């Protein structure tokens, strides 16, 4: 059996303000929600999750995606918290990413076109750029909703540029280990 790599296309993203507020945020949600917080060095958002890809296809895939695996100069604001799939049954707590130029959706679409050539199954849901903070295992509804409301329009800062990367995700007992996939030109 050939080796496989678990891959996604993403952007590591953090602002000084988010890093400063992150410990306070965790403390404020302490009794409201229980689960696995993303380590601050692993904060990222995903354009596409590719799943397990044959190792011998990774270099070709990287080459085909390379026009989009670059640094972009465009403002992204981190504004307010939300949850998926719903407030009644939250599984993910996230920071909303506001992209007035809709460049993130364009990157998502362009990468999706490349992935379709590799028969990689793409998610059918509308793309909603977000920065996952917490995978929720359980929550106390009233306290969670009140705490979430406090952060509904909270400004976590902004970035003026960001880089799109092909990233390998190795799952361990301690949590995922992410490594940017790179090939020499």
User: Bigger pLDDT: 185 or 40?
Assistant: 40
Residue 22 lies in a domain: yes
pLDDT score of 83 more than 60: yes
**Of 120, 103, 104, 19, nearest in space to 60 by CA:** 120
The pLDDT, as a whole number, for residue 185 is 64
Q: How far apart are CA 111 and CA 61, in angstroms?
A: 10
Residue 142 lies in a domain: yes
Q: Could you tell me where the DSSP H helices lie in 57-168?
A: 58-65, 103-116, 141-150
Residue 185 lies in a domain: no
* 15 within 8 A of 157, measured Cβ to Cβ: yes
Residue 147 lies in a domain: yes
pLDDT score of 1 more than 50: no
The pLDDT, as a whole number, for residue 175 is 82
pLDDT band at residue 71 under the 50/70/90 scheme: very high
Cα 175 off chain centre by: 15
pLDDT score of 101 more than 80: yes
Kindly report the CATH number assigned to the domain that includes residue 109.
3.90.1140.10
The pLDDT, as a whole number, for residue 174 is 83
110 lies in which domain range?
4-180
Q: How far apart are CA 146 and CA 155, in angstroms?
A: 18
**Of 1, 13, 6, 154, nearest in space to 76 by CA:** 13
The residues annotated as belonging to the active site are: 44, 130
- Tens of pLDDT along 102-147? 999 999 999 999 999 998 888 888 999 999 999 999 999 999 999 9
pTM: 0.92
What is the number of structural domains in the chain?
1
Rounded to the nearest integer, the mean pLDDT of the chain is 94
Residue 124 lies in a domain: yes
b (16+ CB within 10 A) / e for 27-59? eebeebbebebbeeeebbbbbbebeebeeeebe
> What's the average model confidence in pLDDT over 145-169?
96
pLDDT score of 181 more than 70: yes
Q: What are phi and psi of 88, to 5 degrees?
A: -75, -25
């Amino acid at each position: 059996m050939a080796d496989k790599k678990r891959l996604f296309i993403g952007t590591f993203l953090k602002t000084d303000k988010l890093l400063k507020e992150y410990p306070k945020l965790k403390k404020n949600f302490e009794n409201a929600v229980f689960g696995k917080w993303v380590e601050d060095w692993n904060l990222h958002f995903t354009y596409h999750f590719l799943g397990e890809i044959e190792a011998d296809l990774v270099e070709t895939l990287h080459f085909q995606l390379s026009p989009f695996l670059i640094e972009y100069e465009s403002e992204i604001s981190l504004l307010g918290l939300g949850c998926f799939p719903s407030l009644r049954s939250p599984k993910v707590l996230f920071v909303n990413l506001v992209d007035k130029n809709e460049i993130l959706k364009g990157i998502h679409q362009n990468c999706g076109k490349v992935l379709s050539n590799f028969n990689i199954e793409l998610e059918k849901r509308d793309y909603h750029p977000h920065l996952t903070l917490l995978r929720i295992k359980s929550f106390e509804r009233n306290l969670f909703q009140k705490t979430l409301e406090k952060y509904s329009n909270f400004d976590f800062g902004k970035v003026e540029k960001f880089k799109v990367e092909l990233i390998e995700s190795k799952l361990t007992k301690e949590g995922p280990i992410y490594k940017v996939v790179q090939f020499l030109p």
